[in-house]
Structure 1
Amino acid sequence: MSKLTWKYVKPLKDNESVEGFEALNDVQLPKDITDCIKQNNGGRPDKKVFDTDVSEGRVMKSLLSFNKDDLETVYDAIDVLKNERKSLVPIASDPSGNYICYNLIHKDIVFWLHETNITEKVSDSFTTFLNGLYVE
């Protein structure tokens, strides 16, 4: 795995934050996602550019926070997506209000565009997504 350096990490206020979110929303996230969140909650990686199956040079801003009172939380993001795409669980954001999500149906990582409500496939797993991040 390529080593990422994370900045602005917000430690989880509760060791069960991720499990509480999963229980509340009746979802099960893969271990690579939950491990990353527990270590880097709300953090921003030093490598942040990624490609999708149809576009290049997309930018990840930060992981969403699993602390309910932080600024950009997974709770706010999932509320947006519940009306649009119930099968997506937001994991990270870009600078423009789009989300990098785990797709519960296909079990892969997709990029959700808020203006069009379409998704672009990013990778088969979160680990593959993180390994594919690069500096422009």
Structure 2
Amino acid sequence: MGLEKWTFVEESVDDATIALVEQLFEVTFPRDYKDCIKKFNGGYPEPNNFDYDNGAQGVFNDLISFTNSELNITMFHYLSEDSITKGIIPFGRDPFGNLICFDYRYTKESPSIVFYDHEEVGDESITLICESFSELLDKLYSMK
């Protein structure tokens, strides 16, 4: 198990670009995520399946790009402004339009990783995946 490679990676991201996005969301991203986004901006992980602690399965389709002009991480700022989802900062997507996010609602230092279901409302829209970005990457496996 665990991550083997990233495909469809976009241009690299520097510390200054990451700092601007952190300032926009008023958070500090975890070091493991920053190291990953610098090298694999917008990339698709292989393998990309993961299990929730409750046994359900999920798919980590791609990292949300910092640089794509059509869809980039800053476009999700509206989500973090909603009172229900304040502190939920998306960094990835599944193939169905849902988001994989950092959950800063309870701690600013070490956000957990949650799934945001865009078809649900309120607390029903958020499901815990794991406790850290590295743990999510370690959970990835192939269905093949």
Q: Would the TM-score normalized by the shorter structure come out above 0.5?
A: yes
Alpha-carbon separation, structure 2, partners of 1:48 and 1:40: 14
> CA contact under 8 A between 2:9 and 2:43: conserved in structure 1?
yes
Structure 1 3/49 Cα, relative in aligned 2: closer, same or farther at 3 Å? Answer: closer
TM-score (norm 1): 0.88
**Number of equivalences:** 135
Alpha-carbon separation, structure 1, partners of 2:77 and 2:4: 26
Alignment pair present for 1:76 and 2:75 = yes
Alpha-carbon separation, structure 1, partners of 2:49 and 2:22: 28
TM-score (norm 2): 0.84
What does residue range 5-16 of structure 1 map to in structure 2 within 5 Å? 5-12=5-12, 15-16=15-16
What does residue range 1-136 of structure 1 map to in structure 2 within 5 Å? 2-12=2-12, 15-67=15-67, 69=69, 71-83=70-82, 84-106=84-106, 107-117=111-121, 118-136=125-143
> CA contact under 8 A between 2:14 and 2:38: conserved in structure 1?
no
SS in 1 for 2:77: helix
SS in 1 for 2:127: strand
SS in 1 for 2:92: strand
Structure 1 9/33 Cα, relative in aligned 2: closer, same or farther at 3 Å? Answer: same
CA RMSD in angstroms comes to 1.9
Structure 2 segments unaligned to the other structure (5+ residues): none
Alpha-carbon separation, structure 2, partners of 1:59 and 1:92: 10
Alpha-carbon distance, 1:25 to partner:
2.0
> CA contact under 8 A between 1:22 and 1:29: conserved in structure 2?
yes
Alpha-carbon separation, structure 2, partners of 1:87 and 1:80: 9
> CA contact under 8 A between 2:44 and 2:62: conserved in structure 1?
yes
TM superposition outliers: structure 1 runs of 4+ over 4 Å: none
Percentage of identical aligned residues: 31
Alpha-carbon distance, 1:116 to partner:
0.5
